[in-house]
Amino acid sequence: MTIQNQTAAFHTDVTRSYLADPRTYLTDGGFETSMLFLEGFDLPAFAASVLLEDDAACSAMDRYFDRFLAMAERAGTGFVLDTNTWRSGTHWADAVGRSPAQMQELTREAVRFAMAIRARWQDRVSPILLNGVIGPAGDAYDGTLTLDSATAETIHAPQIALLATCGVDLVSALTFGSMPEAIGFARASVKAGVPVAISYTVETDGRLPDGTQLARAVLETDAATGGAPLYYMINCAHPEHFRDVLTDEAWCRRIRGIRANASRLSHAELDEAETLDDGDPEEFGTLHADLSRMLPALKVVGGCCGTDHRHVGCMADAMLLFTSA
């Protein structure tokens, strides 16, 4: 058996166990917004991977993830631990002010950092899956940007392959606003032999930024990739922006993750905001209890922009994840 086949077999075992587990897993909240607005660190081009170069920032990131893992321990559930790599691909080098080689090293360091967190918590939270996070090649909120699937595959393949080599359990396309880009991402993941999740973002009308219906995005991505994604997610949108498009049709059973925004503001409004809109954590929790009833296959829940441990705590409590007060 080749090394690539051995890796694929390992990933298959890990993800089969993950998906078969009847528990709903937790993940973290709005990492970048927490580091920027709550911790006060600078994020060039919103790329938080550079924080790995700063000891004080690394301490803040440890404290950040510890809060969420403590919730998973209390809830008696597993955890999906993201790598700090949303914008660490080499195509972001110029915008971030680093060389391509430095961006690759930041990706490696992000996996090492996540592995250290897992090692610290694995006796208390099990399992902890390492999730290699990759964002879109451009502005996720700009529906006028076009990227065909072949180009997307070429752009994302190097970072996907690097994350797979570093030992992540799966990779996730987070905050994707384009179906062709997601298709290219999924195809690159298949070639790298690593499981993939696709997380689409939607506007206030429940459609992708380019106007594509969410149902169409899920169905056509599956059709174009032979059903390659483990599952789909929705992230970087308030629950009220997408709950009306959720139905009892088969495509909705492919949505197994939610990472919602705290704010009801549109993406355009959030881009212009100079302060953090953290919404109402208790309402956030109640809305997720409703979503869990609408999405019976829900597997992993957390937060996105504007959320922190308060929001995820209220959400987990409302969804009856906690086994103790």
Q: Nearest Cα to 91, choosing from 145, 173, 154, 166? A: 154
Residue 320: the pLDDT is 63
Is residue 211 packed enough to be buried (19+ CB in 10 Å), middle (13-18) or exposed (0-12)? Answer: exposed
Distance CA 192, CA 171 (A): 10
Residue 269: the pLDDT is 84
Query: Could you tell me if 187 and 149 are in contact, meaning their C-beta atoms sit under 8 angstroms apart?
Result: yes
Residue 184: the pLDDT is 98
pLDDT by residue for the chain (325 residues), tens only, comes to: 444 444 454 456 777 789 999 999 999 999 999 999 999 999 999 999 999 999 999 999 999 999 999 999 999 999 999 999 999 999 999 999 999 999 999 999 999 999 999 999 999 999 999 999 999 999 888 877 779 999 999 999 999 999 999 999 999 999 999 999 999 999 999 999 999 999 999 999 999 999 999 999 999 999 999 999 999 999 999 999 999 999 999 999 999 999 999 999 888 888 777 788 999 999 999 999 999 999 989 999 999 999 999 999 999 999 865 433 3
Residue 321: the pLDDT is 53
Our CA dihedral for 220, 221, 227, 233, rounded to 10 degrees, sits at: -120
DSSP line for 113-129: HHHHHHHHHTTTSS-EE
How many CB atoms are located within 10 Å of the residue 115 CB?
A: 17
Distance CA 131, CA 281 (A): 25
Q: How far is CA 143 from CA 46, 115, 139, 259, in A?
A: 19, 35, 9, 20
Distance CA 85, CA 106 (A): 8
Q: Which three-class secondary structure string do you get for 269-306?
A: HHHHCCCCCCCCHHHHHHHHHHHHHHCCCCCEEEECCC
State pTM to two decimals: 0.93
